[in-house]
C-alpha cells in the first residue's frame, strides 16, 4: 500500500511539472545606455555618490508594468515578463555609468563613507511603464525625481524629469528598449541641470 501511494504521488508530481499552457518566465535587460556629452574639463572637485533609487508599490518589483489606458490611471503587472534586475538598481547603475563616462568628477561611485565630502545623488521612480497610445501602438513612460545634495547636506538640485518614447513595435522587447531610451532622455536633462547648478554654485 505504501509503495502504491508513493507511486501515485510521483505520478501527480510528474503531471504537475508538465502542465500544458504554463508560460516560461521571460527576462529583459535594459538597452545599453546612450552616452552623455564628455566634459572637456572636470566640473566637480568632490566625488559623486549615486545612491540606490527609491520606488513605491509596483515600481519596486521586477515585473514589467503596463497601463490599461493612455492616461495611465489603471496599472497592472505582467506575471511572466520580468526585468533581470529591479529598476531601482538598474537606474542607479545606469546613472553611475553615464556620469562616470562623462568625466564630470574625480570619482563617481555607489559607495563612499558618510564622513567623506561628496555630492550625493538620490533618485525616485515615479513612473516606469508601458502605455497604450491612441494610434494603437505603445509608449514607454518614465518619470523620475532626482535630488543632489551638497557635501554639507543641503540640496543643490531637486527636479522631476518626464520622458515618453514610442516603442518600435508592439512586442515587449521593443518596450524594454523604449523604456531604456526614455531613461536616457531623463538622465540627459538631469545632466544638463547638474552642470548648470554647478555654474550657479560658483556664482554664489
Q: How far apart are CA 133 and CA 198, in angstroms?
A: 38
Q: How far apart are CA 191 and CA 161, in angstroms?
A: 11
The CA distances from residue 69 to 2, 55, 149, 190, in Å, are 56, 22, 37, 28
Contact status, residue 181 vs residue 34, Cβ threshold 8 Å: yes
Q: What is the pLDDT of residue 88?
A: 98
SS3 (DSSP) at 63 = strand
Let me know if 104 is exposed, middle or buried by CB neighbors in 10 A (0-12, 13-18, 19+). buried
DSSP assigned state of 167: -
Q: Is the pTM of this model over 0.75?
A: yes
Q: Mind listing the pLDDT tens digit of every residue in the chain (204 residues)?
A: 555 455 555 555 555 555 556 678 999 999 999 999 998 888 999 999 999 999 999 999 999 999 999 888 999 999 999 999 999 999 999 999 999 999 999 999 999 998 999 999 999 999 999 999 988 899 999 999 999 999 999 999 999 999 999 999 999 999 999 999 999 999 999 999 999 988 666 555
Q: What is the pLDDT of residue 71?
A: 87
DSSP assigned state of 148: E
Q: What is the pLDDT of residue 156?
A: 96
Within a 13 Å sphere around the CA of 72, how many CA atoms are in the beta-carbon half?
15
Q: How far apart are CA 82 and CA 89, in angstroms?
A: 14
Amino acid at each position: 500500500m505504501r509503495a502504491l501511494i508513493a507511486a501515485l504521488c510521483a505520478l501527480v508530481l510528474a503531471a504537475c511539472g508538465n502542465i500544458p499552457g504554463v508560460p516560461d518566465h521571460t527576462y529583459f535587460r535594459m538597452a545599453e545606455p546612450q552616452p552623455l556629452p564628455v566634459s572637456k574639463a572636470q566640473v566637480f572637485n568632490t566625488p559623486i555618490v549615486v545612491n540606490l533609487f527609491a520606488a513605491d508599490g509596483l515600481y519596486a518589483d521586477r515585473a514589467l508594468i503596463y497601463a490599461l489606458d493612455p492616461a495611465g490611471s489603471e496599472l497592472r503587472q505582467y506575471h511572466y515578463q520580468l526585468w533581470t534586475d529591479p529598476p531601482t538598481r538598474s537606474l542607479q547603475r545606469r546613472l553611475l555609468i553615464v556620469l562616470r563616462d562623462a568625466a564630470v568628477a574625480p570619482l563617481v561611485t555607489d559607495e563612499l563613507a558618510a564622513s567623506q565630502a561628496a555630492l550625493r545623488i538620490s533618485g525616485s521612480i515615479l513612473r516606469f511603464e508601458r502605455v497604450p497610445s491612441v494610434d494603437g501602438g505603445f509608449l514607454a513612460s518614465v518619470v523620475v525625481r532626482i535630488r543632489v545634495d551638497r557635501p554639507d547636506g543641503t540640496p543643490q538640485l531637486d527636479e522631476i524629469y518626464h520622458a515618453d518614447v514610442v516603442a518600435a513595435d508592439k512586442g515587449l522587447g521593443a518596450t524594454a528598449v523604449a523604456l531604456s531610451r526614455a531613461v536616457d532622455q531623463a538622465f540627459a536633462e538631469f545632466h544638463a541641470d547638474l552642470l548648470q547648478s554647478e555654474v550657479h554654485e560658483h556664482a554664489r
